[in-house]
């Protein structure tokens, strides 16, 4: 069975932050990054520079509606995980095996 690790970014507006996230995502094996067409930094030369070229190696998908996208991912059997600074568990103690989409923002 093929396992998927996706990253969903909502409201990441700063190109430097988007580039850094893309660079880190490539390093940890993220298979694709989903960003909204609105309320997000766009893939620009500044993002590419901040990503240190990682943007060329990670699939970046822009969607119209993040809520609908999450519903589709759930229908495909992908587990949706949201990150929260005040959560009881850390990402390091969470079971992220199988097909998972991590939501940030």
pLDDT tens digits, residue range 36-69? 999 899 999 999 999 999 999 999 999 999 999 9
What are the tokens at 88? 């009881």
pLDDT at 13 over 90: yes
What are the tokens at 80? 């949706």
| Helix then strand then coil, % of the chain, to nearest 5 | 35, 25, 45
The one-character DSSP state at 8 is E
The boundaries of the domain holding residue 80 are: 5-104
When pLDDT is cut at 50, 70 and 90, the band that residue 8 belongs to is very high
The one-character DSSP state at 89 is S
Q: How many domains does the chain have?
A: 1
């Amino acid at each position: 069975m093929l396992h998927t690790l996706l990253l969903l970014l909502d409201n990441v507006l700063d190109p430097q932050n988007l580039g850094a996230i893309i660079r880190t995502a490539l390093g940890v094996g993220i298979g694709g990054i989903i960003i909204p067409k609105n309320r997000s930094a766009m893939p620009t030369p500044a993002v590419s520079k901040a990503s240190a070229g990682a943007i060329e190696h990670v699939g970046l998908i822009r969607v119209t509606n993040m809520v609908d996208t999450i519903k589709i991912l759930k229908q495909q059997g992908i587990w949706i995980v949201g990150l929260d600074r005040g959560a009881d568990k850390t990402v390091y103690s969470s079971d992220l095996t199988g097909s998972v989409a991590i939501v940030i923002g």
